[in-house]
């Protein structure tokens, strides 16, 4: 085996496609969650380098004023990000021996991480893969109800 150059966006697309496959075939929600999370992060970094807004930045702009109105205090970006990534991070990390049990809706967490990853991908103006189109159709049928 030898080291070879790899394009990070291409690798992230591969991770996202595998995550979508795992999710759609109901094979491993935790793997779909972590793979989609890795892809979402790479796409987000690419967007930042291009001075484009990520899906999390967009959502924060919508949520933060409402939070401020309801709780009469601003929502710190770091707190928002920690909450948005809680499921992914919980699936990836085990801080203490007592952290061996994880109570989480893996299917729901994987679903919404896939949505985030796909949104960031779309914001990069790249052509969608067949698996992304399949997921979009599944989403409209099973989540939106169309």
For the whole model, what pTM was predicted?
A: 0.93
Token duo for residue 46 = 């690419």
Output phi, psi for 26, to 5 deg.
55, 40
pLDDT at residue 110, as a whole number: 98
Q: Which residue carries 């935790």 as its tokens? A: 30
pLDDT tens by residue, the chain, 146 residues: 999 999 999 999 999 999 999 999 999 999 999 999 999 999 999 999 999 999 999 999 999 999 999 999 999 999 999 999 999 999 998 888 888 888 999 999 999 999 999 999 999 999 999 999 999 999 999 999 87
Q: What single-letter DSSP state applies at residue 99?
A: G
Angle of helix 106-123 relative to helix 8-24, nearest 10 degrees, comes to 140
């Amino acid at each position: 085996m030898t080291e070879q150059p790899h394009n990070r966006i291409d690798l992230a697309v591969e991770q996202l496609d595998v995550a979508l496959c795992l999710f759609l075939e109901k094979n491993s929600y935790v793997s779909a969650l972590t793979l989609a999370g890795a892809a979402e992060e790479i796409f987000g970094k690419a967007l930042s380098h291009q001075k484009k807004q990520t899906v999390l930045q967009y959502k924060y702009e919508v949520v933060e004023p409402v939070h401020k109105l309801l709780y009469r205090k601003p929502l710190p970006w770091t707190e928002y990000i920690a909450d948005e990534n809680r499921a992914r991070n919980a699936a990836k990390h085990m801080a203490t021996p007592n952290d061996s049990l994880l109570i989480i809706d893996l299917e729901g967490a994987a679903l919404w991480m896939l949505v985030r990853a796909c949104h960031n991908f779309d914001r990069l103006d790249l052509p969608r893969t067949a698996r992304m189109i399949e997921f979009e159709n599944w989403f409209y049928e099973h989540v939106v109800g169309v």
